[in-house]
């Protein structure tokens, strides 16, 4: 296997030299040595999420979050390794499809990105993570919550959100202890938080109703949860819906209409307004996009910032050099104070439970969550239901 | 859970109601497939997307009318009217642009343009309406009525009634009117029909216009039933309706209805009971497998569908 590598490297070198030569021609002034040259070093960050299809609205929201971070980083005119750097976002549509996800991953590897932000779904993140691991490219997922992602032993896999084990535990405890549910029906969309186009759940709901559950747990996305809540109402259900983060969106209220009322959901992290940098982020986002944040934008923003922070501390944009720094992250982000455990999971990730009231998700209580670093905003104490 | 005979019966009845609604939706869309196939022998794969365009355009009208204070039922009728206009214009154009130039071409060619048109329409809808899911304002009360222990909503009753009425009206049109006679003649032999003074192009255009108006109606009802509309909603629905049409015997109007209702009931019963029957080994996600399995079995024993007639290949 060694032989073919040599010519490839040679070609790559030749291409790199050729490009460098072109680069030198661009500025009119006599080109000096590479460091501190007038041409900024391009740092390529790959971003992958479903930008089309049923989750297109979530993917676009992620992309917006990433762009916001990139624009801010570029406005700072950072120097890394003594050179001006310019961050560039390569955003790709993985269609929430595992196959497409691996194709996108390969594309990023071929484009020699310095790091990857994504993917949105666990179903795409997990197969793609192997490709990034093989290429040694650090990956920070903003929203993949399947524990499998960081359980594969890859040194390159990180996430800035609590995983499903942490979330499931909190959901289960809440259902039994607070909601006093004895019989709980569990509906699984059988995708790894992925693409499901079904809209008719009456058959399965009718069967569930016959078993008289106190609570229905649905592990899927808002686009299905909305019609499901409506159909539960149409079938005369008394039991409420309890959902994970996929259903915990403003979209759910729109899609479920008045059937949204009284249902429960959980979200990793703390409510946007109670995030350390939440209100400021919300204002920035609204000013730039004239739209509301859908769901994960602040996490994507943090994922980009965490990666840029690791590059800064390592003083290098080389994946191999800043990867150890990434693992040592201690960064006060918009969403939380971000530190990773030895698997790449977010340390002490907070989970917040919500209930639908008057067309909005009202936070009920927050479980877990680390103490904010240094500049702790006083707003935290204003959250009466928050338990640490 | 203790075993109650009446509770078990109620669940069965509810599943049948669920299946009947779902099936009536399939039937309404299947009528469009079957009409075009009956006349042209062409499977108009873009039909599902026309349904989607109908749903989204009516929704746009309804929402803007509600915003200026027009009463709900009036807004719904206006929405339906606009959707029907948009869809008929669309159906007419699709036939002129994508099918008519290929009428003498091998059968595979219009099939491919049909798939092309459906992709174009979906992307076009995505450009116009974006990727968002739209919620449909409830224009009819969503609280269910109890009928013999089953819960049924106004929209569901409307769907069953509308598709049954539409099917009967279409059959009357095809079998009792001058236009219907021209349609049947064109279906049988366009060349001879033309010799008898039937303008085949006009008949085909009218068929597409009627089919697309039905698609608009189906789009409005589907989005009202599920409370959501989306640029992607037409593809699965179209596929299921096509299956229903084939199951009932494509080209046969009553067959579309029978196939649709049967497919809906099979899906509902399959999804509702497969978990219990297999001890949880298979779940409701096998709903589609179930439906297609029945389709395969029917086609093995009756290749032209349940009510399809065996027709000799056209010379």
Strand B150-152 relative to strand B145-147: parallel, antiparallel, unpaired?
antiparallel
DSSP string for chain B = ----HHHHHHHHHHHHHHHHHHHHHHHHHHHHHHHHHHHHS---TTHHHHHHHHHHHHHHHHHHHHHTT--HHHHHHHHHHHHHHHHHHHHHHHIIIIIGGGTTS-THHHHHHHHHHHHHHHHHHHHHH-SPPEEPP--S--PPEEETTEEE-HHHHHHHHHHHHHHHHHHHHHHHSHHHHHHHHHHH-HHHHHHTT--HHHHHHHHHHHHHHHHHHHHHHHHHHHSEE-TTHHHHHHHHHHHHHHHH-TT-HHHHHHHHHHHHHHHHHHHHHHHHHTTTSS-GGGHHHHHHHHHHHHHHH-TT-SSPPP-PPP-
Q: Mind telling me how many Å the CA of B309 is from chain A's nearest CA?
A: 32
Q: Is residue A171 within 8 Å of residue A189, measured between CB atoms?
A: no
**What b/e readout covers A112-147, taking b as 16+ CB neighbours within 10 angstroms?**
ebbbbbbbbbbbbbbebbebbbebebbbbbbbbbbb
Q: Is B149 left (phi over 0), alpha (psi -120 to 50) or beta?
A: left
Report, as an integer, the average pLDDT of B190-209. Answer: 93
Which distant-in-sequence residues (6+ apart) come within 8 Å of B190 by Cβ? B200
pTM: 0.73
Cis previous bond, A7, omega within 30: no
Q: Mind telling me how many Å the CA of A352 is from chain B's nearest CA?
A: 25
Q: Mind telling me how many Å the CA of A94 is from chain B's nearest CA?
A: 15
At residue A164, φ and ψ (nearest 5 deg) are -65, -30
Compute the half-sphere exposure of residue B88: CA atoms within 13 Å on the CB side of its CA. Answer: 13
Cβ-based interface (< 8 Å): residues of A facing B: 51-54, 56-57, 60, 188, 190, 197, 199-200, 202-204, 206-207, 209-212, 223, 226-227, 230, 233-236, 251, 254-259
Instruction: Answer yes or no: do B18 and A206 touch at CB < 8 A.
Output: yes
Q: What sign for the dihedral angle of Cα B143, B145, B150, B154?
A: negative
Give CA–CA dist A228/A222, Å, rounded: 9
Instruction: Answer yes or no: do B269 and A203 touch at CB < 8 A.
Output: yes
Q: Mind telling me how many Å the CA of B167 is from chain A's nearest CA?
A: 23
The vertex-B200 CA angle with B197 and B205, nearest 5°, equals: 135
Question: Which of B19, B138, B232 is facing A54, going by the closest CB pair?
Answer: B232
Give residue-wise pLDDT tens across range B212-267. Answer: 999 999 999 999 999 889 998 998 899 999 999 999 999 899 999 999 999 999 99
| Percent of chain B surpassing pLDDT 90 | 67
DSSP string for A110-126 = HTT-SEEEE-SSHHHHH
Specify the 3-state DSSP secondary structure of A294: coil
pLDDT at A19: 42
Q: Is residue A298 within 8 Å of residue A77, measured between CB atoms?
A: no
Question: Which of A197, A202, A233 is facing B232, going by the closest CB pair?
Answer: A197
Higher pLDDT, A361 or B295: A361
Q: Mind telling me how many Å the CA of A192 is from chain B's nearest CA?
A: 14
Residue A8 host element (H or E): helix A2-25
Instruction: Answer yes or no: do A207 and B11 touch at CB < 8 A.
Output: yes
Q: Mind telling me how many Å the CA of B227 is from chain A's nearest CA?
A: 7
Residue B311 predicted with pLDDT over 80: no
Give CA–CA dist A36/B158, Å, rounded: 73
For an interface test with B, which of A52, A206, A211 has the most B Cβ atoms less than 10 Å from its Cβ? A206
Q: Mind telling me how many Å the CA of A59 is from chain B's nearest CA?
A: 10
Per-residue 3-state assignment (H helix, E strand, C coil) for A182-247: CCEEEEECCCCCCCCCCCCCHHHHHHHHHCCCCEEEEECCHHHHHHHHHHHHHCCCCCEEEECHHH
- The runs of H, that is alpha helices, within A26-121 are 56-76, 98-110
Question: In residues, how long is chain A?
Answer: 388
Give CA–CA dist A92/A50, Å, rounded: 8
pLDDT at A20: 42
Instruction: Answer yes or no: do B14 and A206 touch at CB < 8 A.
Output: yes
Tell me how far the alpha carbon of residue B70 is from its chain's centroid: 29
Compute the half-sphere exposure of residue A289: CA atoms within 13 Å on the CB side of its CA. Answer: 20
Report, as an integer, the average pLDDT of B31-38. Answer: 93
For residue A294, list chain B residues with Cβ-Cβ distance below 8 A: none
pLDDT at A25: 43
The interface pTM score, or ipTM, of the predicted complex is: 0.84
Give CA–CA dist B100/A311, Å, rounded: 61
What 8-state DSSP symbol labels residue A175?
I
Q: Is residue A165 within 8 Å of residue A351, measured between CB atoms?
A: no
pLDDT at B131: 80
DSSP string for B61-115 = HHHHHHHTT--HHHHHHHHHHHHHHHHHHHHHHHIIIIIGGGTTS-THHHHHHHH
Instruction: Answer yes or no: do A53 and B271 touch at CB < 8 A.
Output: no
- Could you read off the pLDDT tens digit of each residue along chain A, which spans 388 residues? 344 444 444 444 444 444 444 444 444 444 444 454 568 899 999 999 999 887 888 999 999 999 999 999 999 988 998 899 999 999 999 999 999 999 999 999 999 999 999 899 999 999 999 999 999 999 999 999 889 999 999 999 999 999 888 888 888 989 999 999 999 998 877 654 445 567 888 988 999 998 899 999 998 888 889 999 999 999 999 999 999 888 888 889 989 988 999 999 998 878 888 888 999 999 999 999 999 998 899 999 999 999 999 999 999 999 999 999 999 999 999 998 999 999 999 988 888 999 999 999 999 988 876 544 433 333 333 333 322 3
Give CA–CA dist B252/A115, Å, rounded: 58
pLDDT at B273: 86
Give CA–CA dist B60/B69, Å, rounded: 15
pLDDT at A21: 42
Mutual angle of helices B154-176 and B253-277, in 10-degree steps:
150
For an interface test with A, which of B271, B283, B287, B291 has the most A Cβ atoms less than 10 Å from its Cβ? B271
Instruction: Answer yes or no: do A259 and B144 touch at CB < 8 A.
Output: no
Question: Which of B138, B228, B284 is facing A199, going by the closest CB pair?
Answer: B228
Residue B129 predicted with pLDDT over 90: yes
What the block records as the tokens of A313 is: 């501390």
Widest pairwise Cα distance in chain B: 71
Assign B4 a pLDDT band (cuts: 50, 70, 90): low
Give CA–CA dist B196/A272, Å, rounded: 73
Burial of B273 (0-12, 13-18, 19+ CB in 10 A): middle
DSSP string for A306-366 = HHHHHHHHHT---HHHHHHHHHT-EEE-SSSEEEB-TTSPBTT--EEEEEEETTEEEEEEE
Residue A289 host element (H or E): helix A278-289
CA A363 vs CA A6, A71, A264, A271: distances in Å:
58, 31, 10, 7
For an interface test with A, which of B12, B48, B119, B151 has the most A Cβ atoms less than 10 Å from its Cβ? B151
Q: CA-based Rg of chain B, rounded to a whole angstrom?
A: 20
Instruction: Answer yes or no: do B18 and A52 touch at CB < 8 A.
Output: no
Assign B89 a pLDDT band (cuts: 50, 70, 90): very high
Give CA–CA dist A139/A123, Å, rounded: 15
What the block records as the tokens of B10 is: 């109620």
Instruction: Answer yes or no: do A203 and B15 touch at CB < 8 A.
Output: yes
Question: Which of A52, A190, A227 is facing B228, going by the closest CB pair?
Answer: A227
Assign B130 a pLDDT band (cuts: 50, 70, 90): confident
What 8-state DSSP symbol labels residue A159?
E
What 8-state DSSP symbol labels residue A12?
H
pLDDT at A348: 84
């Amino acid at each position: 296997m060694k032989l073919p590598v040599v010519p490839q490297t040679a070609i790559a070198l030749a291409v790199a030299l050729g490009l460098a030569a072109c680069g030198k021609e661009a500025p009119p002034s006599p080109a000096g040595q590479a460091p501190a040259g007038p041409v900024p070093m391009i740092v390529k960050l790959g971003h992958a999420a479903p930008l089309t299809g049923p989750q297109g609205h979530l993917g676009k929201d992620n992309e917006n979050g990433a762009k916001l971070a990139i624009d801010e980083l570029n406005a700072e005119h950072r120097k890394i390794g003594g050179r001006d750097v310019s961050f560039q976002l390569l955003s790709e549509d993985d269609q929430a499809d595992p196959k497409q996800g691996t194709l996108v991953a390969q594309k990023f590897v071929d484009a020699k990105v310095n790091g990857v932000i994504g993917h949105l779904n666990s179903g795409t993140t997990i197969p793609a993570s192997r490709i990034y691991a093989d290429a040694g490219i650090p990956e920070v997922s903003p929203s993949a919550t399947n524990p499998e992602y960081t359980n594969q032993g890859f040194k390159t896999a990180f996430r800035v959100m609590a995983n499903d084990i942490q979330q499931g535990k909190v959901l289960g405890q809440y259902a039994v202890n607070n909601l006093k549910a004895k019989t709980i029906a569990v509906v699984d969309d059988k995708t790894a938080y992925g693409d499901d186009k079904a809209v008719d759940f009456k058959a399965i709901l009718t069967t569930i109703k016959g078993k008289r559950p106190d609570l229905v747990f649905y592990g899927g996305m808002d686009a299905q949860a909305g019609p499901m809540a409506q159909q539960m109402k149409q079938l005369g259900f008394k039991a409420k819906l309890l959902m994970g983060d996929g259903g915990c969106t403003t979209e759910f209220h729109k899609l479920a209409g008045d059937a949204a009322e009284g249902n429960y959901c959980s979200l990793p992290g703390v409510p946007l307004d109670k995030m350390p940098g939440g209100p400021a982020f919300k204002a920035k986002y609204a000013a730039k996009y004239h739209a509301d944040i859908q769901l994960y934008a602040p996490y994507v923003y943090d994922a980009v910032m965490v990666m840029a922070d690791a590059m800064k501390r390592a003083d290098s944009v080389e994946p191999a050099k800043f990867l150890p720094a990434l693992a040592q992250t201690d960064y006060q982000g918009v969403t939380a104070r971000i530190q990773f455990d030895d698997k790449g999971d977010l340390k002490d990730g907070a989970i917040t439970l919500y209930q639908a009231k008057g067309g909005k998700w009202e936070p009920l209580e927050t479980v877990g969550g680390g103490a904010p670093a240094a500049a702790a905003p006083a707003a935290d104490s204003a959250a009466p239901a928050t338990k640490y | 859970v203790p075993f109650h005979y009446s509770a078990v019966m109620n669940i069965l009845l509810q599943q049948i109601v669920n299946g009947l609604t779902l099936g009536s939706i399939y039937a309404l869309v299947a009528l469009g497939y079957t009409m075009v196939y009956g006349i042209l022998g062409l499977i108009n794969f873009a039909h599902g997307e026309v349904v989607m365009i109908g749903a989204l355009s009516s929704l746009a009208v309804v929402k803007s009318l509600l915003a200026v204070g027009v009463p709900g039922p009036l807004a719904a009728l206006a929405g339906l009217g606009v959707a029907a206009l948009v869809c008929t214009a669309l159906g007419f154009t699709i036939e002129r642009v994508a099918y008519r130039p290929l009428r003498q071409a091998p059968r595979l060619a219009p099939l491919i343009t049909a798939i092309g048109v459906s992709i174009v329409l979906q992307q076009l809808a995505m450009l116009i309406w974006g990727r968002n899911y739209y919620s449909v304002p409830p224009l009819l009360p969503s609280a269910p009525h109890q009928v013999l222990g089953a819960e049924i909503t106004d929209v569901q009753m409307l769907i069953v009634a509308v598709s049954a009425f539409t099917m009967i009206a279409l059959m009357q049109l095809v079998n009792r009117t001058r236009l219907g006679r021209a349609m049947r003649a064109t279906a049988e032999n366009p060349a001879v029909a033309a010799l008898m003074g039937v303008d085949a192009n006009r008949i085909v255009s009218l068929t597409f216009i009627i089919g697309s108006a039905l698609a608009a109606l189906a789009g409005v009802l589907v989005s009202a039933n599920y409370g959501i509309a989306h640029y992607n909603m037409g593809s699965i629905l179209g596929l299921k309706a096509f299956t229903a049409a084939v199951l009932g015997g494509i080209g046969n109007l009553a067959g579309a209805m029978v196939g649709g209702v049967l497919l809906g009931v099979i899906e509902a019963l399959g999804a509702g009971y497969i978990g219990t029957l297999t001890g949880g080994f298979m779940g409701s996600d096998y709903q589609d497998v179930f439906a297609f399995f029945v389709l395969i079995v029917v086609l093995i024993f009756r290749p032209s569908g349940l009510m399809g007639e065996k027709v000799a290949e056209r010379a």
